[in-house]
Structure 1
């Protein structure tokens, strides 16, 4: 059996062809996808599918082929994206024995749990919590993007830090913070207008904003009151998001995945907060290769 996996995110896309022993036969990175509701979004999904078909064109048709797409920005809400992918694969003459098209948080959940009951917090530039229990009941909370949600994420922390720096420069807070000086150096702006215009023009990218987190963490360790407040609020948001999912499917082992948990301070304090809530299940910080989850789904099914 040949297994093709696609992990399509909004920063990069990885395509991988493996055999049934999980040995990598071919792997390449491609352009990120665009949210399907945005201009050019659906075309980006088609281009990624065409790229996969190009990778598969020399695969011996005597081999069984199973494919899994793990997609950012897709929540399984309609058939538009799956139908586009299926049509493109048919047009290119690729025959597959099974085809799975899932949201990226399901791929990550499988990578963490291998299909066993559990809950995963995925928190990097955005935030989503997903869990599934032994009865097969599942629930997702979040994943709405930073315009509508993502509280507690790296992007959210970065934006809150920028807001705090602006308020500090306007002298509307009595709390002392070193954020303004640190952010001026990191974001390379001269004054309030320079910062604001760079944010709204996109010159300062969402990714750059999320990379403010280490600055906030460093200052929090020095007892900067504003930074401590921001990080504690972020932890509150993540705990509350998890409690929503637990209320739906029950308590299960909890896995922490994503760039935000590279912060030891955030990870340790989040675990401590769960202990305070009398959460009795394992809380484990893990590093996930999303391709692993897609491989598991392609080989074993959902």
Structure 2
């Protein structure tokens, strides 16, 4: 094929996804690879990963790399300039370098909600963080990790859920149905066995976070579950309170992450959010961070993302997203 093309890459902790499209918003192909988190892989591994994704996309579209204008790689762990420079150094002998733009995956997540424009991002996934981007300046609140922070996150919710099981055991009271499901989830018969199971897990943070969906399923039926979810939402609102003076009220607040993808959590949270911050408008992205990275590639080339382009992006993304989920 002929014509200019743009590539967006979104590197996360478990997988990296990429998309290629033209200036009219036609997304033509997607590709998937392994983890793109710089805290988990080397720059050499990242170099191989990005090249493999580019090759996949070019093969699927029968395009040449000369057709590509920008490769926008939004990678977890690449928020500091020193880390970005290491990646650029890895590509110094590659033709990809002159077209490569490295940024944090947070930028792509924000772009997915603002169509590449400025605004504020609230992430509530395994961790929790607020990120703002305005007039080429950024701010961050939270994001201190599971040992020092992450209040308002899936990890926080999972930890509270597991603690409720242990407290019930200490108090010698019967377990609630959601607490019994936590034991089943970890394939143990009693609360005391949770200690060995969780502390012996290869990734305790992920193991603990995974429990959050059990609590959300019980949100409407169980008062303890509802109380714990409310505690986590309150912690997230307090995080927003800390960032409030720096948030641009004229721009949207994008809600992103695993907890917000749960409708029960999202609806309960937005009611509390609107009551606490009536001058802020919250929204959930209708496209992925991968497409957000593609949008940032278009903006890098000063391509206008008009309403017809947005519609085309949404339509073509619906046709492709199933290939990488």
Compared with structure 1, are the counterparts of its residues 34 and 274 closer, same or farther at alpha carbon in structure 2 (3 Å cutoff)? closer
TM-score (norm 2): 0.79
Quote the residue 1:231 is aligned against.
229
Cα-to-partner distance string for 1:261-280 (whole Å, 9 max, x where unaligned)? 23333222222222332422
Deviation at 1:254, TM superposition (A): 1.9
Separation in structure 2 between the aligned mates of residue 278 and residue 56 of structure 1, nearest angstrom: 43
Deviation at 1:103, TM superposition (A): 1.1
Deviation at 1:297, TM superposition (A): 1.2
Quote the residue 2:108 is aligned against.
107
2:203 matches 1:200: no
TM-score (norm 1): 0.84
Task: After TM superposition, list the pairs within 5 Å mapping 1:1-302 onto structure 2.
Answer: 1-36=4-39, 40-52=41-53, 54-55=55-56, 60=64, 62-76=66-80, 78-79=81-82, 81-94=83-96, 96=98, 98-133=99-134, 135-171=135-171, 177-202=176-201, 206-225=205-224, 227-251=225-249, 252-301=251-300
Cα-to-partner distance string for 1:89-119 (whole Å, 9 max, x where unaligned)? 33234363x4321111111111211244432
Determine if contact 2:20/2:294 at 8 Å carries over to the other structure: no
Determine if contact 2:33/2:49 at 8 Å carries over to the other structure: yes
User: RMSD in angstroms over aligned alpha carbons?
Assistant: 2.9
The number of aligned residues is 294
Compared with structure 1, are the counterparts of its residues 289 and 23 closer, same or farther at alpha carbon in structure 2 (3 Å cutoff)? same
Separation in structure 1 between the aligned mates of residue 174 and residue 245 of structure 2, nearest angstrom: 37
Separation in structure 2 between the aligned mates of residue 54 and residue 127 of structure 1, nearest angstrom: 34
Separation in structure 2 between the aligned mates of residue 26 and residue 117 of structure 1, nearest angstrom: 27
Cα-to-partner distance string for 1:148-185 (whole Å, 9 max, x where unaligned)? 3222111221121112211211218x897444312112
Higher relative contact order (CA 8 A, sep 6+): 2
